[in-house]
A = this chain, B = another copy of it.
Amino acid sequence: MINEFIKPVELAKSYRLINHGPTVLVSSAHNGIQNVMAAAWNMGLDFSPAKVAVVIDKSTLTRELVEASGTFALNVPSRAIAKLVLDVGHKSGREFASKKLDALNVPHFAGTAIQAPLIDGCVAWLECKLIPEPHIQKTYDLFLGEVIAAHADTRVFENGHWKYDANTPEELQTLHYVAGNTFLTVGAAFNA
């Protein structure tokens, strides 16, 4: 892993990495082509085996790579790379001759289970195997995946829990997309 803070997350707890509704980056790779896009529309789908759902538009290069490779990663970006999330979200890999990561200087590292690059500057990563459901892929752009490896930054997620509090550095907060170039960030955790 790219730094000492990143540790594996138990698969049965991996849903918690997106349970609070962050915008994610969807990364993918096939035949040497890598890509990444932003997706506010993602959610957990099951605990065990851990599953997720994400919307991937027909027009995207990511869609092509996910369908061809049968894999994708969800990366949970932090405020440190908010600007990059917007760039990645606004521009298609097709504009860069399928070399978006290079063109936009997206820092990345290798995962442990799939070929998709994992994006640096994120605080959690879910490596997923596509669960093929052609009807909903075609009709709703809706993709399901089984989580086969997961990792998180222990500065903010440890022992199956997010640790956000008043002392968490702002740059490690997750991003929750509103519209335009506006995000909300998470505040401190509280017990109801």
Cα-based distance from A189 to B164 in the complex (angstroms)? 17
| Nearest B residue (CB) for A144 | B140
Q: Contact: A185 with B190, CB < 8 Å?
A: yes
A189 contact set on B, CB distance < 8 A: 178, 182-184
Cα-based distance from A96 to B40 in the complex (angstroms)? 36
Q: Contact: A140 with B45, CB < 8 Å?
A: yes
Please tell me which one of the listed residues B19, B42, B182 contacts residue A190 in the complex, with CB atoms under 8 A apart: B182
- Considering only residues 131-174 of chain A, those with a C-beta below 8 Å from chain B are 133, 135-136, 140-142, 144, 160-162, 164, 173
Q: Does A85 contact B (CB under 8 A)?
A: yes
Q: Contact: B161 with A184, CB < 8 Å?
A: no
Q: Residue among A46, A176, A181 with the most chain B CB within 10 A?
A: A176
Cα-based distance from A50 to B135 in the complex (angstroms)? 19
Given A161-B178, A177-B20, A179-B160: A192 in contact with B83 (beta carbons within 8 A) = yes
Q: How many copies does the complex hold?
A: 2
Q: Contact: B184 with A187, CB < 8 Å?
A: yes
- Flag A1-33 by CB within 8 Å of B: 1 or 0 each: 000000000000000100111110000000000
A136 contact set on B, CB distance < 8 A: 133, 136
| Nearest B residue (CB) for A185 | B187
Q: Does A74 contact B (CB under 8 A)?
A: no
Q: Does A44 contact B (CB under 8 A)?
A: yes
A161 contact set on B, CB distance < 8 A: 178-179, 182
Q: Contact: A183 with B192, CB < 8 Å?
A: yes
Q: Can you report 8 A-B residue pairs in the complex whose CB atoms are below 8 A from each other?
A: A19-B40, A20-B184, A21-B21, A41-B43, A82-B190, A184-B186, A185-B187, A187-B187
